[in-house]
């Protein structure tokens, strides 16, 4: 089996893979008990070679792997690669480029919203993946023959899926669509874990500046603790606890001890004292320097009706062009478009605007209508625009 466990062997295989136009990449990692993912295995495949790298082998140096990931002349192929790329970013402080994500390409080609790897492999290659080793403990050594076989198959199938999707994209003229999506996947902003920005991830709603100030400070404190101790955020403090602290704003041990969401005695712990100081910092923040609190964007009855019409247009557009609706626009996008013609959403930029966004605005302003033609939804231009629109023509069957 092609198991790589030494620095020299890894350097040799990376040198060979660097001579090809692409390399398929996958990782196996653990994250249940840590803040940062623990990289256990890397799988690599070129056009005629596939290997499994034991990243936990004694003394192994992964520098040649990271150099391969940084090589601009090679396309790095992932499936749902955000977590894989995050691991490389954390370990090497670099992001692979250029990249190709087969999940995104599959959505652009109409294979459904967030199509699973197993489904895609079976659909495009006819192979059924053996899942028996998927949830094994990848940190235990030695790796079993079944684990190695499973890991290697992951990238050999990925190699085949990539080549089929690439041909289909070129045939349909959609390569540029995928390229736009890769810009987000390769942006450092996608992977930065700055504690200062931690509050953005919280779903807790605050309504007053003082509450927001406390929320920001406590969320930042939690992320710093979690990162420094390398434990999940929830091990330090759960999201709902941060929300309660932001609303109650305790500044004394007695007040902190009254919070039902905290364990008994927490107020006397080192973390309890740190929280009290954090709350005081939040309350001392100048309200004028705080971010604007986003108000509830629940659409009015009229706006909600517009959103519902936009949903119909979105489904029709997705079916006609064989593109997953999710990759064209989200419900959040539709709500923004319903309330603002200049909304800063992906659906009003690039290929999405050409495919859907302009028609969405036309529908919103009455320049476009929806109708039923022989049991299917079509769009029709208003009389002053000259008859049926292109989108109202019969749906074009997807290419095989």
- Clarify whether residues 256 and 313 are in a common domain: no
H or E stretch covering 153: helix 145-172
| pLDDT, mean over the chain | 91
- Clarify whether residues 377 and 249 are in a common domain: no
Residue 50 lies in a domain: yes
In this model, does residue 294 exceed pLDDT 80? no
Distances (CA, A) of 128 to 76, 103, 260, 308: 24, 17, 50, 39
- Clarify whether residues 48 and 146 are in a common domain: yes
Any idea what the CATH number is for the domain that residue 252 is in? 1.10.150.80
- Clarify whether residues 271 and 309 are in a common domain: no
Any idea what the CATH number is for the domain that residue 146 is in? 3.30.420.10
- Clarify whether residues 14 and 130 are in a common domain: yes
DSSP state of 388: B
Q: Is 265 helix (H, G, I), strand (E, B) or coil?
A: coil
Contact (Cβ atoms closer than 8 angstroms) between residue 156 and residue 56 = no
Mean pLDDT, residues 288-317 taken together = 83
Residue 18 lies in a domain: yes
Mean pLDDT, residues 270-296 taken together = 91
Of 162, 191, 220, the last residue of a domain is 191
Mean pLDDT, residues 335-347 taken together = 94
Partners of 77 in beta bridges: 24, 100
- Clarify whether residues 33 and 139 are in a common domain: yes
Residue 296 lies in a domain: no
Residue 251 lies in a domain: yes
Q: pLDDT of 48-91, one tens digit each?
A: 999 999 999 999 999 999 999 999 999 999 999 999 999 999 99
Higher pLDDT, 382 or 121: 121
In this model, does residue 395 exceed pLDDT 80? no
pLDDT of residue 382: 75
Of the pLDDT bands very low, low, confident and very high (cuts 50, 70, 90), residue 131 is confident
* Structural domain for 72, as ranges: 3-191
Q: Is 75 helix (H, G, I), strand (E, B) or coil?
A: strand
- Clarify whether residues 138 and 250 are in a common domain: no
pLDDT of residue 130: 86
- Clarify whether residues 12 and 106 are in a common domain: yes
- Clarify whether residues 153 and 81 are in a common domain: yes
- Model pTM greater than 0.75? yes
Residue 278 lies in a domain: yes
Number of domains in the chain: 3
Higher pLDDT, 398 or 177: 177
Residue 316 lies in a domain: yes
pLDDT of residue 298: 61
Residue 396 lies in a domain: no
- Clarify whether residues 112 and 47 are in a common domain: yes
- Clarify whether residues 354 and 374 are in a common domain: yes
pLDDT of residue 203: 85
Q: pLDDT of 186-203, one tens digit each?
A: 999 999 899 999 999 998
Residue-wise over 91-127: b if at least 16 C-beta within 10 A, else e?
bbeebbbebbbbbbbbbbbbbeeebebeebbeebeee
Mean pLDDT, residues 118-138 taken together = 91
Of the pLDDT bands very low, low, confident and very high (cuts 50, 70, 90), residue 331 is very high
The 3 state secondary structure assigned to 343-386 is CCCHHHCHHHHHHHHHHHHHHHCCCEEEEEECCEEEEEECHHHC
Residue 172 lies in a domain: yes
Any idea what the CATH number is for the domain that residue 340 is in? 1.10.150
- Clarify whether residues 51 and 104 are in a common domain: yes
> Omega before 320 cis (within 30°)?
no
């Amino acid at each position: 089996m092609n198991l790589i466990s030494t620095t020299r062997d890894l350097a040799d295989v990376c040198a060979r893979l660097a001579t090809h136009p692409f390399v398929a990449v996958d990782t196996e990692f653990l994250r249940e008990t840590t803040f940062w993912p623990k990289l256990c295995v890397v799988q690599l495949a070129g056009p005629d070679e596939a290997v499994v790298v034991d990243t936990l082998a004694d003394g192994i140096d992964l520098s040649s792997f990271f150099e391969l990931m940084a090589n601009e002349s090679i396309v790095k192929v992932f499936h749902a690669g955000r977590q894989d790329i995050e691991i490389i970013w954390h370990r090497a402080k670099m992001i692979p480029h250029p990249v190709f994500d087969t999940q995104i390409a599959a959505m652009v080609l109409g294979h459904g919203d967030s199509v699973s790897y197993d489904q895609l492999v079976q659909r495009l290659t006819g192979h059924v993946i053996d899942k028996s080793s998927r949830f094994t403990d990848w940190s235990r050594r030695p790796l079993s023959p079944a684990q190695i076989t499973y890991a290697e198959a992951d990238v050999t199938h990925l190699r085949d899926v990539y080549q089929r999707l690439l041909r289909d994209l070129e045939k349909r003229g959609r390569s540029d669509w995928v390229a736009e999506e890769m810009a987000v996947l390769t942006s450092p902003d996608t992977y930065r874990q700055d504690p200062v920005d931690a509050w953005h991830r919280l779903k807790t709603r605050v309504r007053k500046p003082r509450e927001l100030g406390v929320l920001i400070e406590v969320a930042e404190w939690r992320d710093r603790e979690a990162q420094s101790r390398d434990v999940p955020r929830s091990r330090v403090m759960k999201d709902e606890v941060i929300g309660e602290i932001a609303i109650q704003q305790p500044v004394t041990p007695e007040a902190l001890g009254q919070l039902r969401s905290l364990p008994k005695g927490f107020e006397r712990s080192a973390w309890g004292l740190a929280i009290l100081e954090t709350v005081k910092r939040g309350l001392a923040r100048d309200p004028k320097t705080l971010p604007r609190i986003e108000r509830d964007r629940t659409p009015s009855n009229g706006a909600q009706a517009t959103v519902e019409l936009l949903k119909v247009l979105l489904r029709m557009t997705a079916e006609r062009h064989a593109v997953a609706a999710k990759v064209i626009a989200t419900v959040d996008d539709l709500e923004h478009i319903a309330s603002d013609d200049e909304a800063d959403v992906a659906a009003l930029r690039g290929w999405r605007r050409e495919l859907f966004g302009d028609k969405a605005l036309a529908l919103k302003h009455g320049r476009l209508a929806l109708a039923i033609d022989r049991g299917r939804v079509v769009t029709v231009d208003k009389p002053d625009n000259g008859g049926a629109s292109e989108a109202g023509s019969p749906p074009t069957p997807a290419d095989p």
